Amino acid sequence: MKTRFLRLILIAVSVFTTGAAPLAAQQKGQKALDGVFFKIEKKGQKPSYALGTVHYVHGEYMHEVPGLDSILGTITCLAAEMSMEEMIHPNQQATMASIITKLQGFDSSKLEREMPTVMQEFLDTTGIDAYTRYLTPQQLDSLDRIIAYFQVNDKVASMSTVQGEKAYRYALPFVLPSLWQSLTTSKFSQFYKDVRGYTSDYKLLDLMIAMKANELNEAYAVEHPDKQQPRIMSVGLDSINVMGAFIDSQADLIDLILNDFSTKNLVQLIYRGGRAQYELCSRIPQIDSIYRSGKGNELIDFLDEMPESERVYGNDVLINDRNRYWMTQLPQLMKDHQTLIVVGLAHLLNTPGSEGILSMLQKQGYTVTRIL
């Protein structure tokens, strides 16, 4: 049970870090690159490319990005935040175990003492439920609308002794945070099927590109059984310690949750997480439209205005440190290989608290040309 609550803490932290990172507006007067897809050139080298992604654009859109399909036929290196193997065959259990171990290093004595009382307060059907007790009437009405929008009661009724439209109020406290992301993904899939005519369920754009590269490698291996190396080399730019560093960067927030563990705090976290996901779903059409137009800076501004965005934006570990670390690898990669860089859009473009890798490359003599 303790592990479940540590997972809840991880979900509570990650609810405010969905997407690739701090997406803040450009500084006034700063002349910066705009777009989502770029060609990168330097004398004596074959051209490389960079695609900025966001977590809310369907992977099937890769076939509509100008020239991307043909570029995949020419590149010899795919550089992503994670390696192709991690994206296609993610060892989620091992990753989660590592994160849980790190979380267990925090002082959780308050959590352990209060857990039985908190559990009972959520499950008790004899009095006022926890949500009614700790949310304002306006917040409670908002949460009821969110529950109806995601059709949550259909999923939690079987876990509760209470049926009907209020069943969610008596579910275990880790149930709703665990559902928010999957329910949002379902809404994404439905939008892209209804509006864009995509036949597959929602998948991340970087994942779909990695899968396509893997298909090309498999075909290449069949045609060239004597070749030991794949046609497209996969490079994960992040170190294996990135998630650990992120957890360390959130130490104050995690410690606050653990040391002030209460039903009231959990109710607030659950409500804010659901509100953030609801607001995200309501913005899918605009996000899709802005991305398709190639207005990267406008999309960054748009996402920056979403609820709770300020909780992540400006995190050095998520943006600045990673950009600098990636730049220790990218110039050599592009010198040795014709490379497609696929990373979060906020890593490519400048924001007030960070310098994008495209700007860094320009300073090293690269010419960057917008394609989309």
Q: What is the pLDDT of residues 308-331, one digit of tens each?
A: 554 444 556 778 888 998 999 999
Tell the residue number behind the tokens 């795919």, with chain if given: 78
Q: Which residues contact 366 (CB under 8 A, 6 or more apart)?
A: 40, 41, 42
Say yes or no to pLDDT of 59 above 60. Answer: yes
Residue type present at position 69: D
DSSP state of 354: B
The predicted model gives 19-40 an average pLDDT of 62
Query: What pLDDT is recorded for position 26?
Result: 39
CA–CA gap between residue 53 and residue 68 (Å, rounded): 13
The predicted model gives 140-146 an average pLDDT of 93
Say yes or no to pLDDT of 60 above 60. Answer: yes
DSSP H helix total and E strand total for the chain: 19, 6
Please, which pLDDT band fits residue 17 given cuts at 50, 70 and 90?
very low
Measured between alpha carbons, how far is residue 315 from residues 38, 70, 237, 330 in Å?
25, 36, 18, 22
Picking from 305, 299, 371, the residue whose alpha carbon sits closest to that of residue 340 is 371
Say yes or no to pLDDT of 233 above 90. Answer: yes
Q: Do residues 258 and 107 make contact, with C-beta atoms less than 8 angstroms apart? A: yes
Picking from 348, 260, 286, 270, the residue whose alpha carbon sits closest to that of residue 26 is 348
Please, which pLDDT band fits residue 307 given cuts at 50, 70 and 90?
low
Say yes or no to pLDDT of 137 above 80. Answer: yes
Residue type present at position 367: T
Q: What is the pLDDT of residues 200-214, one digit of tens each?
A: 888 889 999 999 999
CA–CA gap between residue 187 and residue 152 (Å, rounded): 13
**pTM for the full model?**
0.81
CA–CA gap between residue 36 and residue 300 (Å, rounded): 11
Q: Do residues 81 and 206 make contact, with C-beta atoms less than 8 angstroms apart? A: yes
